[in-house]
A and B are shown apart, each in its own frame.
Chain A
Amino acid sequence: MSRLRRSSKVMRLWDWSVPPTSAHREVLSIVPEGWIDAPRATRKPPILFVHGLAHGAWCWREHWMPAAAERGFPVYAVSLRGHGDSGGRKRLGRTLLRHYVHDVMQTITELPQQPVLVGHSMGALVSQLVADRYSPRGLALLTPAPIQGAAYEMPKLIRKRPLDAAKVLAGGTLPLRAEQLFTGLDEATAARYVDRLGRESPWAQYELLLPHRIGPVRCPVLVVGTPDDRVVDEKAVEVTAAAYGVDPVWLPGIGHDLMLDGGWEKALSVVLDWVDERC
């Protein structure tokens, strides 16, 4: 069962006739000194981080961006519209995944060369939709929202957290609590992060329930999951990895937000080692 298209999708009628509107974008960046003048063939590729549901570029700025820049990578993180300090908050109720794809594509065109895309959760799905039309240097999918659609998770959500399920179905933002996102943080830090979470577009959330077909993807792909993830289950990670014909890398002991949780250093080194080796 392949979830990837075998050949290119040329016809994008919807994008041609009703193009996404634009919105102000927050793009955080750290470019190591001397990088821009180094020869293109030998310098480390840029990394573009795409955050997940209700998060923002800030979640990468906390630990990963400075640490990756320290290792010589120019790093960028975009806040999708309606998130972080990007614009489009008022229109969030009319925002679709295609708008997020547009925001990432716009950010990419401002980068000096093809980046490695690192997407987390919903951002991993957005990154795959970007790779559907653009060839990044590499594609890293961290605790990815299921490519097969999250609808299969709804019965479990209804059973375990009926109020959350009702809220999502009514168009509210999926509540993400500290105990779902983190396993190894002190209470105060976890609360501080949860406080920064914003709202999500109801339409984007509904789209997460649906299956997505993408491809062909021609770049190296990395899929990272954790058995201690209480938002994206192991099956979602396995199906996504299988779609690209790779084995997922499992990081036990770290929660869903592996760029913020205790143990983030380990997760980051898995990603950066892969970039160094494969991209």
Chain B
Amino acid sequence: MSDVIDRGGAWAVVGAGPHGLSALKNLLQLGLDADGFERDTDLGGNWNFHAENSRVYESTHLISTKPFTQFPDFPMPDAYPDYPSHWQVHRYFRSYAEHFGLLDHLHFNSEVVSVTPAADQRWDVTMRDRETGDETTRQYAGVVIANGHNWWPKIPQYPGQDTFTGEIKHSADYKSADVVRGKRVLVVGAGNTGCDVAVESAQNAKETFHSTRRGYYYNPKYAFGRPSDQTADLLLALRLPLALRRVMFKSVLRLTVGDFEKFGLRKPDHEFFETHPIVNQQLVYYVGHGDISPKPDIARFDGSTVHFEDGTSAEIDVVVFCTGYLAHFPFLDDSYLNLDGDHPVLARQIFTPATPTLAVSGLIQPDSGQWTIAHWQGMLIATYAALRAQDPQAAQRFYDAMVAETGVRFTGGAEYKDSTRHYYEIAHQEYLRAIERDLQRIESMTPSVMAAAR
């Protein structure tokens, strides 16, 4: 089909996960027209358990509590627990979409296969109907990319890995404990998924080894009877200096969990806040019960044996690489996202210096809840889109000011460890403060943006 359907001033949103939904909702709320495209038959993205690219597993729960994880204009139900399950999260996204009338603007089973530039900084978006295979192209004033960055597995390579006689899996294929039940298991990686899988393996496998590159801080979900992330936010709100917060966090960890080394875990080789926080109260418990044997990095594979860097080895039936994901934009020429090697370098993790009508939402890994940030990213993008429609020159000034800050990181003063895992890491309060300032700037540029809105 060569006919391009002109969608006028409308924006396209790629993906109907939480960031896509938020972008769509805020665009519509500010009076713009918008279409959302989702390759699956349902919304929710990563949280749509049965979707091909969903990476949540049966036991997934949030690792941050509701207050700053939820959309600020659509709180999670009081009936939900502090740390809701992925089932509840999915129901929550559905009721958000229903409440704000997003379903009429969402196209399911529609895989975006290409986003290419058209004249006047517009974009041709081509989608394939996953049932019929038919392709259609529509032209938009702008595109919000919200296809997520936790679905394209990053698989490491160790010497001898190809000769390993056991099974090798990535956490992307891990949907439940069935993968490990009754087996000798090696879990690789101490991200939050790695720790969850290690714990679940401890409960179900014959033996569990947990290989990590370094020692980490394993933070409890509760400390002193309160969700610990809420206490952390209180300390941040008080604007205590980083050094003092480090001392306080480490003391609390020492008081509530204890000395990691006494459990046989390695001492962290880095300062607090230098790696993405791990929130897992059970890992240390199972290490203490001998159900998880901590191991350093893998040295090599040899038949059914895995050798570790400290010279020890173990017989393994199944390896689960919980080694994370890489961002992947198969529908777009990478040059539009200002790639540095394998990852985009953006302004506010949203705007790309390559073009003013492309915005990214969700390319963040906050040290806290995600969807409060999703809301404000969506709001900033929508306000910018509305300004472009009304006063292109003012919008250009705002865009220029934004991309002048391309590559600026929001680390809360810490130096993140060099790892693909920290490409998109942000300190949530510092980041949100920046977004608040951006909104101040752009909302004061055009009072009419507000007047135009419903």
Interfacial chain B residues near A40, Cβ < 8 Å: 101, 104
Number of A-B contacts (CB under 8 A): 91
Are A216 and B450 neighbours in the complex by a CB distance under 8 Å?
Answer: yes
Interface of A, secondary structure class, is loop
Residue A8 CB within 8 A of the other chain: yes
Are A11 and B77 neighbours in the complex by a CB distance under 8 Å?
Answer: no
A102 to B67: give the CA distance in the assembly, Å: 11
Residue B299 CB within 8 A of the other chain: no
Q: Give the shortest distance, in Å, between A274 (CB) and chain B (any CB).
A: 15
A133 to B72: give the CA distance in the assembly, Å: 7
Are B435 and A16 neighbours in the complex by a CB distance under 8 Å?
Answer: no
Chain A, 1-51, CB within 8 A of any chain B CB: 6-19, 22, 40
Quick one: given A11-B429, A109-B99, are A133 and B436 in contact (CB under 8 Å)?
Answer: no
Interface residues of A, CB < 8 Å — how many?
Answer: 32
Residue in A closest to B234 when the chains form the complex, CB atoms:
A17
Interfacial chain B residues near A6, Cβ < 8 Å: 440, 443-444, 447
Pick the residue among B72, B78, B101, B234 that contacts A18 (CB under 8 A): B234
Residue A269 CB within 8 A of the other chain: no
Are A109 and B432 neighbours in the complex by a CB distance under 8 Å?
Answer: no
Interfacial chain A residues near B66, Cβ < 8 Å: 19
Are B73 and A112 neighbours in the complex by a CB distance under 8 Å?
Answer: no
Interfacial chain A residues near B73, Cβ < 8 Å: 133-135
Are B435 and A135 neighbours in the complex by a CB distance under 8 Å?
Answer: no
Interfacial chain B residues near A7, Cβ < 8 Å: 436, 439-440, 443-444
A252 to B343: give the CA distance in the assembly, Å: 66
Give chain B's interface residue range (CB within 8 Å of chain A): 35 or more
Q: Give the shortest distance, in Å, between B77 (CB) and chain A (any CB).
A: 7
Are B379 and A8 neighbours in the complex by a CB distance under 8 Å?
Answer: yes
A219 to B73: give the CA distance in the assembly, Å: 15
Interfacial chain A residues near B454, Cβ < 8 Å: 135, 137, 218-219
Are A10 and B376 neighbours in the complex by a CB distance under 8 Å?
Answer: yes
Pick the residue among A12, A110, A114, A218 that contacts B72 (CB under 8 A): A12
Additional A-B contact list (16), CB under 8 Å, known A106-B75, A135-B454: A6-B443, A6-B444, A7-B439, A10-B376, A10-B432, A11-B432, A16-B237, A17-B231, A40-B101, A106-B78, A112-B99, A113-B99, A113-B101, A133-B73, A137-B454, A218-B450
Spell out B's residues near A (CB within 8 Å): 29-30, 65-68, 72-75, 77-78, 95, 98-101, 104, 230-231, 233-234, 236-237, 372, 376, 379, 429, 432-433, 435-436, 439-440, 443-444, 447, 450, 453-454
* A and B contact pairs by CB, cutoff 8 A, 12 listed: A8-B376, A13-B236, A16-B237, A17-B231, A110-B77, A111-B99, A113-B98, A113-B101, A133-B73, A135-B29, A218-B29, A218-B454
Spell out A's residues near B (CB within 8 Å): 6-19, 22, 40, 102, 105-106, 109-114, 133-135, 137, 216, 218-219
